[in-house]
Amino acid sequence: MTADIVSGVTQPPPRPRKRSATRSVTLSDVAAASGVSAQTVSRVVRDPLSVSDETRARVQAALTATGYVPNLAASNLASNRSRTVAALVPQINASVFADTVHAFSTALAAHGYQIFVGTTDYRPEHEEEVLRSFLGRRPDGLLMVGTRHTPGTLTLLGAAGVPVVETWGWSEDPVDLLVGFSNAAAAAAMVGHLVERGRRRITFAGRHTSGDPRAAERLDGYTRAVRDLLGSEPRTVDAGPEPVTMDTGVALLDLALERHPDSDAVMFSSDVFAAGALQACVRRGIDVPGTLALAGFGDFELARHLVPALTTVAVPSARIGELSAELLLMRMRGAPVDVPHRDVGYRVVAREST
């Protein structure tokens, strides 16, 4: 509009640009209200002790008076740190992973990190997509359930250069950190237990062909153990892409009884399946463990309450979350991690159902 004459040169008229300005309180608002610079307010927010008592008090008063809420996006951008950690799990509503995530989240929240949870719905190709969208947030760390990944996932992880913990499995060649146990060994141990209880015709029932690598690993362990201990061929039934529900467990039981009618034990890849099957047996009057022994995996709370109580493999879900948080914190701080791969083990819990 008005072209002013400044130092003899015509300045281009500064056009006012409109932005849909955020309606919220900014650092400079607080700065103005307390008579200091924005930088000082930022210091009060992030490291109060680096500011004199007097100034701090004044700024803090202004902080509460204005109701300032920091804009983390701006903070991330400026500091190149997001104070965010992403967790990639197959399902939130699967309680085992929920326990891990809960412990992980609690431990990290204590250090000022927020946790993003993403679900892959047991679809490996989905993992890549979710990961990509998460990396857009530039997380400072990453937790993943599983140790098997697509090449695309590995490329993304490599390019991102973010600390990663893989969990719930075991690998000879982890991406970075690893907190887990051998699903195969755990399943083999369960076979050992069943054999010890005199079972000889053990069937494995799970969802091992449709995107659950952990179930597949358990199947491997089962297969090897059956061959080693009993010298017999594996007998398996598969749930395909069916969801991990008690209904599916009942269906698996039916399948097992149909395909392998001489089974004297069925071990499931999850307590959820086993619980469904167990209740179905009770309802039908199939004697457990007299006629048929049943075993699960995971040691959900449910397992010990059922009648008969369910034999299962206990896995320290919450411990996995805690330990993952611990290792990740060290790595994010740049501290050396002495033992980056931790085996948390498993435990066969013998109960009434076998």
Partner DNA sequence: GACCCTGTTGTTAGCGCTATCGGCAGCGCT
Partner DNA sequence: AGCGCTGCCGATAGCGCTAACAACAGGGTC
By beta-carbon proximity to DNA, the closer residue of 28 and 150 is: 28
Contacted entry of a second copy, DNA, none for residue 43, CB cut-off 5 to 8 Å set by kind: DNA
Contact call for residues 303 and 241 (beta carbons, < 8 A): no
36 contributes a contact to DNA by CB under 7 A: yes
Q: Which is nearer to DNA, 79 or 155 (CB)?
A: 79
Cβ closest to DNA, residue 36 vs residue 131: 36
Residue with Cβ nearer a second copy (257 or 280): 280
CB within 8 Å of 166: residues ≥ 6 apart:
144, 145, 146, 147, 174, 175, 176, 177, 178, 179, 180
Beta bridge mates, 88: 118, 144
Answer for which of 57, 65, 92, 154 binds a second copy (CB under 8 A) is: 92
Q: Kindly tell me which residue out of 156, 215, 226, 292 binds a second copy, with binding defined by CB under 8 A.
A: 156
Q: Cα separations (Å) of 70 from 82, 111, 198, 290, 326?
A: 13, 17, 64, 63, 27
Reported as half-sphere exposure (CB side, CA atoms, 13 A), residue 77 has a value of 5
32, 60, 66, 71: which one binds DNA (CB under 7 A): 71
Q: What is the DSSP letter of 226?
A: I
Using rule CB under 7 A, residue 57 touches DNA: no
Nearest alpha-carbon partner for 145 in 106, 94, 206: 94
Q: Is 51 near DNA (CB under 7 A)?
A: yes
How many residues are listed for the chain in this entry? 354
Rule CB under 7 A: is residue 37 a binding residue for DNA? yes
Residues 207-226 that bind a second copy (CB under 8 A): none
Q: For residue 159, how many C-alpha atoms fall within 13 Å in the half-sphere facing its CB? A: 10
Instruction: Considering only the stretches 36-44, 93-101, 118-126, 329-337, report the one whose residues sit in contact with DNA under the rule CB under 7 A.
Output: 36-44
Question: Among DNA, a second copy, none, what does residue 148 contact (CB within 5–8 Å per kind)?
Answer: none
Backbone angles phi, psi at 268, to 5 degrees: -105, 160
CB of 98 to DNA, least distance (A): 32
Cβ-contact 185, 228 below 8 angstroms = no
Cβ proximity to a second copy, 243 vs 340, nearer residue = 243
Closest CB to a second copy among residues 135, 230: 135
Give whole-number Cα distances, 66 to 22, 31, 34, 180, in Å: 15, 11, 10, 47
For 313, phi and psi rounded to 5 degrees? -105, 120
The token pair at 241 is 């892409």
Binding track over 180-219 against DNA, x by CB under 7 A: ----------------------------------------
Per CB under 7 A, the list member of 32, 60, 66, 75 interacting with DNA is 75
**Closer residue to a second copy (CB): 2 or 80:** 80
By the 8 A CB rule, do 166 and 175 touch? Answer: yes
Q: Are 140 and 328 in contact (CB under 8 A)?
A: no
* Interacting residues with a second copy (CB under 8 A): 6-9, 19-24, 67, 69-77, 80, 82, 91-93, 95, 98-99, 101-102, 105, 114, 116-117, 119, 132-138, 155-156, 159-161, 245-247, 250, 275-276, 279-280, 282-283, 301-302, 305-307
* Interacting residues with DNA (CB under 7 A): 14-15, 17-22, 24, 26-28, 35-40, 42-43, 45-46, 50-52, 54-56, 68, 70-71, 74-75, 77-81
